[in-house]
Structure 1
């Protein structure tokens, strides 16, 4: 069954220049307290290897903490997700509401109260329990956090910026043993904005043209369903660019709801990324009832966890997308992988599908400042695409006729893919996804146009002028996949639910153990490589199951 392990249950043998290293070989700051009174969480010690340590973090510096609460009946949750996609099961296509999830699987109210009482006793402010009781958020100072979690926090100089990181593991009092999974916000590390590769001239596709390429004919254009994007900063210009794109392309205006998860930031550095996410997904499914944007204050793992959790807790969007990622090692060590996986699991059992880009560095994972350069990082996968409860989307080079008729695809050399060293696979991938037999998570699950030569045309504003830009990357492929899936959900209804079990079950039935068998509804990509891995018949670590023939696949999924 799919589940996340804690650092104490699996040894991490990962080191990467510019990322982090595990605690072995790192001198940890002494913290005065009796070790016998403390128990570990999944948040371990961090030390940026590409940074210079300066001094202890200022004691009065403000932190936004996100504390993960341990769920109940975890194995039963994984079993239920699999049963929901198994014909003949009493739970087949019976998805939970947030209230049902909370009652069956979330931390109890008593546990949440114990945690909030403790944080309040440490002087923290604005202590709030999420509605699904998977997280508690709080505002604290460095001094309060160090005392409350028996840790130490230091300042570092990294790429000309000052950052902080906890240099010893985060712990909680023995009275909270088993109640807390991880403590996020003790560092301000997290994914960097992806570098969007651009084409030298206007050669790409407008979002609605991908419907022709991937054969969406006969499917509903998103009617009656909803989708979402995870973003960060100020989305004012993104909404304006979306409205401009809709007018230029003759598309209806999709209603937009912005949900700010924390302090509203004035940062606009990611505007072109959010332009790509919003225009691509809604351009493919233009009649969607609503687009929700869950907006984080920053791209730290702590702030992103709040937005991811809000997507699940509200259960208002059938599909969601994050065109962001970071090497598996950081979220594994800082505890955000455990926290976020629970939110993604809730979304899955509620019948929601979350899409994430697999990265643009090939069989390596993204590392700043060389993100987007194939092979520039360590051999690893990118999170959250590596989560078993997420549909990881890789990249292809798309070949189509002048009339946008599909011809073939080649594995894009920069498309992320490989085997996660720390994530476990969903049981539904067994027999298809090669890594599943070894108890590991293989990435990606599917792949779509990402090479900027076959990239997407979007409208972006620079210095007050709005123009068409052709960009690529798996930041394009992921919202593209979500838009196509939204059309399938609109056509078949919400019973399609969480996509991965349905896709893998159908794929395995057709192939019946023979990977060279063509699977109607999928374009099998058998050429190209992403560094370590090569495209092969059937599932592979460059393009997963392949891309969709939407019209055919819509009729095949049960």
Structure 2
């Protein structure tokens, strides 16, 4: 390389670092402003499991049974996540205010998070999140946090995955924001296939979780009926995300043994509640092609299981601030730029995140706060007066019916509504 070429390269690097440094230094709590776009986590992207490679993030998804349902805010026109210097989006105060949960306690009841692959930074990133919001420590040492493999052992853990680590961070932070005194059990499946994930669900219940969140899903097929037995845990709340692709059904949300959790757009408002919710356009909903209709579900438009049962915030435009540092390029302003350009995988700090991967752990945490034994998703159906009804918005085209359109009473995208305190759970 000639001296002139070296100088040009140094100037370019300095310019890039300066640009990204300016881009990632917002106020400590940033408001939503200007045009925004969103990208999914790429949980089924095999590149996420190639260690320390600076490779494009926009690869086709692998053919696996499930992918996570999380979406992260990007800078306008960018491919990858917008990394922030401090908390962004909604936090614990906002979520607890919106769903009337402030001051409530779970008294150490355990919410389990089931995901695939390992997030090596899960505990340290969780500590940073909780410190930023003044939440009590939740660590292995104090008994609040525990991470195990699908069989319940502390080792060996699965291989790391940058996309699933984003999902794990979202799940852990969502539980922390909704239920600060919940204990958290993270169960990591070896792969995102049905057998390992369902083994992990059984393990979560065996280890004492009162609620188990599953923020992932895949297309229905004839094999799901046999797998349903792993979701049938009377007395334990099993929640599942309804999906992020709009009108249409995924499993395990379609299982009659889970609470299927749809999604809303949550915004501050000048009404008595202080908040307004509409159907999030990305939330999944509809009629199962395989699953039988549970006895507690009576909507007329589906002969089989209808999705969803309830809902919570899922729109990444009104998403949760999440802290995650597991990525392919280290910790630097240059790494943040590479991530934003789609030349690296993972996160390097704070980002604003949504998807029904957010709504599922919120609802699991509400179940833990309520502390009631539950039978599948039936409890909200007999306590609809304790839910906020979501009556507007749509997630797709279904002839204008309730299956994809917010309406008074039951609708597909949001079920009977969102938490209004604990009475519905």
- TM-score, normalised by the number of residues in structure 2: 0.70
- Equivalent residue, structure 1, for 2:379: 502
- Equivalent residue, structure 1, for 2:389: 524
Cα 1:498/1:224, change in 2 over 3 Å: farther
SS at match of 1:219: coil
In the TM superposition, 1:42-81 aligns within 5 A as none
- Equivalent residue, structure 2, for 1:226: 110
Cα 1:479/1:160, change in 2 over 3 Å: closer
1:225 touches 1:486 (CA, 8 Å); kept in 2?
yes
SS at match of 2:352: strand
SS at match of 1:310: helix
| Whole-Å separation in 2 of the counterparts to 1:276 and 1:404 | 29
Deviations 1:269-316 (A, max 9, x none): 21111000011112221112x21111111112222122122234x151
| Whole-Å separation in 1 of the counterparts to 2:417 and 2:259 | 13
CA shift, 1:216, in A, is 1.1
2:262 touches 2:414 (CA, 8 Å); kept in 1?
yes
Quote the RMSD (CA, aligned, Å). 2.5
| Whole-Å separation in 2 of the counterparts to 1:427 and 1:539 | 16
| Whole-Å separation in 2 of the counterparts to 1:404 and 1:297 | 47
CA shift, 1:189, in A, is 3.1
| Whole-Å separation in 1 of the counterparts to 2:192 and 2:355 | 19
Residue-pair matches, total: 323
In the TM superposition, 1:422-433 aligns within 5 A as 422-430=290-298, 433=299
1:343 aligns with 2:230: yes
2:264 touches 2:315 (CA, 8 Å); kept in 1?
yes
1:453 aligns with 2:317: yes
CA shift, 1:454, in A, is 0.9
Cα 1:280/1:546, change in 2 over 3 Å: same
- Equivalent residue, structure 1, for 2:284: 416
- Equivalent residue, structure 2, for 1:303: 196
SS at match of 2:254: coil
| Whole-Å separation in 2 of the counterparts to 1:434 and 1:442 | 10
CA shift, 1:235, in A, is 2.6
Deviations 1:127-161 (A, max 9, x none): xxxxxxxxxxxxxxxxxxxxxxxxxxxxxxxx889
- Equivalent residue, structure 1, for 2:124: 240
In the TM superposition, 1:527-546 aligns within 5 A as 527-532=392-397, 533-546=404-417
- With a CA cutoff of 8 Å and minimum separation of 6, indicate the structure with the bigger relative contact order: 2
In the TM superposition, 1:134-533 aligns within 5 A as 189-198=64-73, 200=75, 204-220=89-105, 222-254=106-138, 255-261=144-150, 264-269=157-162, 270-288=164-182, 290-312=183-205, 314=206, 316-329=208-221, 332=222, 335=223, 337-345=224-232, 347=233, 349=234, 351-364=235-248, 381-401=249-269, 406-430=274-298, 433-435=299-301, 438-461=302-325, 462=327, 463-464=330-331, 466-489=348-371, 495-498=372-375, 500-507=377-384, 519=385, 521-532=386-397, 533=404
CA shift, 1:404, in A, is 11
Unaligned runs of 5+ in 1: 1-158, 164-187, 365-380, 490-494, 508-518
1:434 touches 1:442 (CA, 8 Å); kept in 2?
no
1:203 touches 1:454 (CA, 8 Å); kept in 2?
no
1:203 touches 1:453 (CA, 8 Å); kept in 2?
no
Cα 1:160/1:283, change in 2 over 3 Å: closer
